Amino acid sequence: MAAATLTTLDRALLGIIDRGRASGYDIHRLFSATPMAVFSSSPGSIYPALARLERRGLLRARLDSATEARPRRVYSITRQGVAALEAWLREPVTREELVRDARLPVLRFSLAERRLTRAQAISYLEGYRRALADYGKELESYLEQLEGGEELHPALALRSGIDGFRCQARWVDHAIADLERAEAEER
């Protein structure tokens, strides 16, 4: 029952289906038509992942044989699925997450709207900004070592990563401002 381990694809599927029930094909289309493609790609990973999540009780399938020739399995999220998703969305961004895959924090944010209040989303982003700043500093001190060497490419590549983090930090500022504006308008 306890969600042993979930892959990024698993969590992405939970987040997508949390926004509205969907079939494997719906998700496949979503991945091929939108920048969500970074999550994954092929039916060969999506269908088994959906079946896994159903076995673990995080998704529930309903057969839609009325409209289609071949029965569509339409998935919706269960209470356990929501719990697993929320646990993931509430985890603070860590240095380890940035190292493992720097896109994950934003991917998580993109799926969090239904499950986090504006205030919670803002503090999530503040945590992200802190993680960016900390890891960025670490990379800068490593860059100083590299710049002594005679190779140009590795230092430039590292500089690219550092610039990217700085850029993300600026994005965080704008995103927080947008969320605050939205919250003010909602009152």
- Binding segment toward DNA, per CB under 7 A, in 47-55, 117-125, 131-139, 174-182: 47-55
Two tokens, residue 58: 């995080």
Which residue is it, tokens 């699925």?
Answer: 81
Q: Which is nearer to a second copy, 75 or 109 (CB)?
A: 109
Per the CB < 8 A criterion, the answer to whether 122 and 176 are in contact is yes
22 φ, ψ (degrees, to nearest 5): -160, 155
Site string for a second copy, 107-136 (x = CB under 8 A): x-xxxxx-------x---------------
Give residues 14-43 in contact with a second copy (rule: CB under 8 A): 34-35, 37-38
- For the chain, the residue count is 187
Biggest CA–CA distance in the chain, Å, is 69
Rounded CA Rg of the chain: 20
CA separation for the pair 136, 147 (Å, rounded): 16
As a whole number of angstroms, the distance between CA 77 and CA 19 comes to 9
Q: Does 47 bind DNA (CB under 7 A)?
A: yes
Q: Which residues contact 22 (CB under 8 A, 6 or more apart)?
A: 16, 30, 74, 75
Closest to a second copy by CB, 25 vs 171, is 171
What does 133 bind: DNA, a second copy, none (CB cut-off 5 to 8 Å by kind)? none
Is 168 among the residues that bind DNA (CB under 7 A)?
no
From the list DNA, a second copy, none, pick the one residue 55 interacts with, judged by a Cβ distance below 5 to 8 Å according to partner type.
none
Q: Which residues bind a second copy (CB under 8 A)?
A: 34-35, 37-38, 99-100, 102-103, 106-107, 109-113, 121, 139, 142, 151-154, 156-161, 163-164, 166-168, 170-171, 174-175, 178-179, 182
Q: Which residues bind DNA (CB under 7 A)?
A: 5, 7-10, 23-26, 28-29, 40-45, 47-52, 68-74
